[in-house]
Structure 1
Amino acid sequence: MAAPSRRSFLIQSSTLLAGAGLATIPVTQTQAEPAAGKINIALIGCKNMGWANLTSILKLPDVECLALCDVDDSVLNSRAAELEKKTGKKVALYKDFRKLLERKDIQAVIIGTPDHWHALQTMYACEAGKDVYVEKPLANSIEECLAMVAAARKYNRVVQVGQWQRSGPHFDEALTYATSGKLGKIRTVKAWAYMGYGKEFPPVPDEPVPAGVDYKMWLGPAPDRPFNKNRFHGSFRYFWDYAGGLMTDWGVHMIDMGLKGMKVSTPKSVQSLGGKLGFPEHADETPDTMQTVYEFDGFTLLWEQAKGIARGPYDRDHGVAFIGNLGTMVADRSKWEVFPEVENGKYLTDMMPPHPVQGNTLDLHTKNFVDCIKSRQKPNGDVEIGAHTAICAQLGNISHRLGRKIFWDSAKNVIVNDPKAEEMAKAHYHNGWQLPKV
């Protein structure tokens, strides 16, 4: 494969925000303002959430899609046909995202590729002058998270991360109530995902690369391995080469709501326990069962995950709970409600009926992205927010894989006095790809 780094990427230093914390520079405009006409976008990674994001954003009348990019011809061609049926227009098709980024008429891109691609594609897009909507988690390593924040700030780009609950009035209302004082002192936040799927995932033999798939491009910076369908498309997320399992799939959503509610970013320490306890014979590498405790000043945050079990805490398969001295507020994507503590036959706080979700939160999130392209303001799911949440997820997985507690220095953005953990926080690229230094 040819030299993979985007040929004009500018390297100004060899450090990634070392010792300075995550950047907080406001987004400013450095190219022609597109607000007067259509905002031209493109999609990189056309399956699953990439397509869902594009479908959502195209509900806005001032957005037009000019191009699609995917390494799998079957996905690319089927999505192109769907898009033509929807809009009546043909779009340009690419298998190499770098060619797409050379187009001057595209102002923004949606990135829906596997996690191990998010950093490179986002950074190259920022350098090319594109604003970016990138799927969660922001990145597949802590080093990538810091580099992506630096690139977004350097090139003055709007980067919205697909943590779409950040744009939801439903969650805003729930978190405002939870931290209003009505629950008393919040001592613990619990976040979880108990997913009923994944009961069958047997190992399968390697096989030839399917026709029409550019497998070398799909692998990109990941280790070179024979093609195996268990590692491809949606199930890639259960292998460390490309992702981080339920922690980086659902964890970044639910943990993010805990961070937002408590107005914190990253923890002081992390301890994870678990493993392949439910289905040890399965092909996946990531744990099907795990509990992670995050230490913050004045409270703890507990993450729980389980694959193949659908009945989680408070009889919900996913959610976040703020547990206070006077009661507990529980929220998921469908509703939020309050469970008061009881003392001497009396509720210690008001009993609240369930508050159902209103509207389509994904649509609100993509609209917020477009609004920020025009206004040059930070979006609801800004890259720095995505970095904080992804760092929490990565710290949890690193603790699990090492089997010990690890400590985080939020001022320096480093793991403290643990060389093995520090090495696991780095981006380890292969096949000639390199993480640009900003």
Structure 2
Amino acid sequence: MSQNRRKFIKNAAISAGGIGMFSILPSSVWGANIAPSDQINVALIGCRNHGFNILRHHLNNEGVNCVALCDVDENVLHERAKDVKEAYGQNPKLYRDFRKLLEQQDIDAVIIGTPDHWHCLIFVYACQAGKDIYVEKPLANTIGECDIMVRAANHYSRVVQVGQQQRSNEGFNETMEIIKSGDIGRLRKVNIWANFNYGIGATPVEDSSVPEGVDYDFWLGPAPKRPFNRARFHGSWRHFWDYGGGLFSDWGVHLIDMGLWSDDLLGGPERVITYAGNNSNQTGMRDTFDTMNVTYPKKNYVINFDMNGGVQEGPWGKPYGVAFIGDKGTMVADRAGYKLYPEYDNNTESHKTAARSLSNISDAHDHHVRNFLDCIQSREPPRCTPEMGYAAAVHAHIANISGRVGEHLLEWDDENMRFTNSEKANEYIIPEYRKPWKLPEV
């Protein structure tokens, strides 16, 4: 851990406190005619799926231009270039190597939509190249890489938005206002659950030859050399430790982030209690866990996370969600909205707080991207800073590490970036990059 960690966290907390609660800025804020100096040129690295969706959210704003695309799969690259041309009338330059893309001088910001194991390298190179960054979550695939990325963003003074878009969700913003106003009383517990079928992994297949047009060695990058297998590639890579953290890191960062936001907590957890296993009878190709229960004791409350891959039903009739339990009532929230269930006071024969609800929330990606674009212009911190991304990712990574080393209780020293009760767990903090790739330094 750098000696600057405490300063970064303090500054992030101050910045986050000044952002304020939810607001919607219409795309017309840019005006019908955008001066060249006010236009923003963006590039996308990792074009196949969610990264391209995020690019669309950028291009739906006036004055935003896609000037470059990069992907190691030529088939994806040319398909997405065609999509941009047909939908937006733009002709981005095409790259197979992100390093060449970062040399393009007219790029203001890059979107990192690659598998998680690539985030750190591309992020640091982009900072060094003077680009602002929208990086998908989790921030990185290891704790050490997350720390490097926070330090890089601060060292190079870049505007960075982490793709934890629930920070821009109207319902979750109102939920936080209600909790922090004291309307549910003292917050005692945050119960989180995530049940999704895809959490068991892809259907097993045999190793095969690399598809034509794919630079598979570049796709692996710093990850270990392995034979090509479609179940480890497009769409299902996150179920293997080399590239991702499974269902827990995928949904975990989104939902844990809400638990931390309710008390404005930054940094890693001091203690994590974990059960992790593969308990489903359904066959799926994965390294990661399909069943997890994780507890994060906090100073003022406790966060519990219940995860089940291969299951779609959950508490409150929702496959995923967050229940904020207070003395006066319970707030149940997901991306579609929230509902406050008040407690009843037998002495006064009345509810302890007012029931309320909100539903039919619009997609938060638009607002999250709009906030990023505004911050590129203003140089203000966006709604989800690298420090916030670090906190959520490290909470998820420690639970996964606990399962991997078979130790149910891990104690974490965030200042010194180490586990104080497990040397086995400490081996998972810093990744070992495959040559010739090197872990970046800041």
The answer to whether the superposition gives a TM-score over 0.5 is: yes
Whether the 8 Å CA contact 1:109–1:132 is kept in 2: the answer is: yes
Partner of 2:22: none
Partner of 1:6: none
Whether the 8 Å CA contact 2:200–2:282 is kept in 1: the answer is: no
SS in 2 for 1:179: helix
- Counterparts in 2 of 1:351 and 1:279: CA distance versus 1, 3 Å: farther
Partner of 1:12: none
- Counterparts in 2 of 1:255 and 1:278: CA distance versus 1, 3 Å: same
Structure 1, 226-235 or 176-185: larger mean CA deviation: 176-185
One-letter amino acid of the structure 2 residue matched with residue 397 of structure 1: N
> Once the 2 structures are TM-superposed, how far is the Cα of residue 19 of structure 1 from its aligned partner?
6.9
Percent identity reads 46
CA deviations 1:186-219 (Å, max 9, x no partner) are 2111122111345673321110000000001100
Partner of 2:339: 337
Partner of 1:23: 8
> Once the 2 structures are TM-superposed, how far is the Cα of residue 99 of structure 1 from its aligned partner?
0.3
- Does residue 432 (structure 1) correspond to residue 432 (structure 2)? The answer is no
> Once the 2 structures are TM-superposed, how far is the Cα of residue 354 of structure 1 from its aligned partner?
2.6
One-letter amino acid of the structure 2 residue matched with residue 392 of structure 1: H
Structure 1, 361-370 or 183-192: larger mean CA deviation: 183-192
One-letter amino acid of the structure 2 residue matched with residue 396 of structure 1: A
Aligned partners of 2:201 and 2:182: how far apart in 1?
Answer: 45
Structure 1, 402-411 or 314-323: larger mean CA deviation: 402-411
Partner of 1:7: none
Aligned partners of 1:432 and 1:200: how far apart in 2?
Answer: 30
> Once the 2 structures are TM-superposed, how far is the Cα of residue 322 of structure 1 from its aligned partner?
0.7
SS in 2 for 1:189: strand
Q: Structure 2: where are the runs of 5+ without partners?
A: 16-34
Partner of 1:13: none
Match of 1:381 among 371, 380, 384: 384
Partner of 2:165: 164
Whether the 8 Å CA contact 1:19–1:413 is kept in 2: the answer is: no
Aligned partners of 2:363 and 2:312: how far apart in 1?
Answer: 24
Partner of 1:273: 275
Partner of 1:412: 416
One-letter amino acid of the structure 1 residue matched with residue 367 of structure 2: L
Partner of 2:328: 326
SS in 2 for 1:122: helix
Give matches, 1:91-240, under 5 Å.
91-197=92-198, 201-240=202-241
CA deviations 1:46-86 (Å, max 9, x no partner) are 02210110000111111100011011111111111110001
Aligned partners of 1:18 and 1:140: how far apart in 2?
Answer: 22
Aligned partners of 2:36 and 2:148: how far apart in 1?
Answer: 29
Aligned partners of 1:200 and 1:189: how far apart in 2?
Answer: 28
Partner of 1:315: 317
Partner of 1:31: none
Give matches, 1:362-381, under 5 Å.
362-381=365-384
> Once the 2 structures are TM-superposed, how far is the Cα of residue 429 of structure 1 from its aligned partner?
1.1
SS in 2 for 1:278: coil
> Once the 2 structures are TM-superposed, how far is the Cα of residue 414 of structure 1 from its aligned partner?
2.8
Give matches, 1:48-67, under 5 Å.
48-67=49-68
> Once the 2 structures are TM-superposed, how far is the Cα of residue 391 of structure 1 from its aligned partner?
0.8
Aligned partners of 2:201 and 2:8: how far apart in 1?
Answer: 43
One-letter amino acid of the structure 2 residue matched with residue 355 of structure 1: L
Q: Structure 1: where are the runs of 5+ without partners?
A: 1-15, 28-33
> Once the 2 structures are TM-superposed, how far is the Cα of residue 330 of structure 1 from its aligned partner?
0.6
- Counterparts in 2 of 1:430 and 1:371: CA distance versus 1, 3 Å: same
Aligned partners of 2:5 and 2:36: how far apart in 1?
Answer: 34
Aligned partners of 1:84 and 1:435: how far apart in 2?
Answer: 36
One-letter amino acid of the structure 1 residue matched with residue 139 of structure 2: L
Partner of 2:405: 402
Structure 1, 411-420 or 313-322: larger mean CA deviation: 411-420
CA deviations 1:89-135 (Å, max 9, x no partner) are 22111111000001111111000000000000011000000000000
Aligned partners of 1:222 and 1:267: how far apart in 2?
Answer: 27
Whether the 8 Å CA contact 2:222–2:437 is kept in 1: the answer is: yes
Whether the 8 Å CA contact 1:19–1:412 is kept in 2: the answer is: no
Whether the 8 Å CA contact 1:44–1:68 is kept in 2: the answer is: yes
Match of 2:307 among 285, 305, 308: 305
Aligned partners of 1:61 and 1:420: how far apart in 2?
Answer: 51
One-letter amino acid of the structure 2 residue matched with residue 276 of structure 1: N
Partner of 2:91: 90
Aligned partners of 2:418 and 2:4: how far apart in 1?
Answer: 9
Partner of 2:290: 288
Whether the 8 Å CA contact 1:21–1:410 is kept in 2: the answer is: no
One-letter amino acid of the structure 1 residue matched with residue 420 of structure 2: V
SS in 1 for 2:316: helix
Q: State the TM-score, normalized to the length of structure 1.
A: 0.91
Aligned partners of 1:423 and 1:207: how far apart in 2?
Answer: 32
Whether the 8 Å CA contact 1:22–1:149 is kept in 2: the answer is: no
Aligned partners of 2:236 and 2:396: how far apart in 1?
Answer: 18
Q: State the TM-score, normalized to the length of structure 2.
A: 0.90
SS in 1 for 2:236: helix
What is the number of equivalent residue pairs in this alignment?
417
Whether the 8 Å CA contact 1:276–1:287 is kept in 2: the answer is: yes
Aligned partners of 2:259 and 2:244: how far apart in 1?
Answer: 22
CA deviations 1:338-357 (Å, max 9, x no partner) are 12233539454235243114
Aligned partners of 2:5 and 2:80: how far apart in 1?
Answer: 43
Give matches, 1:347-366, under 5 Å.
348-366=351-369
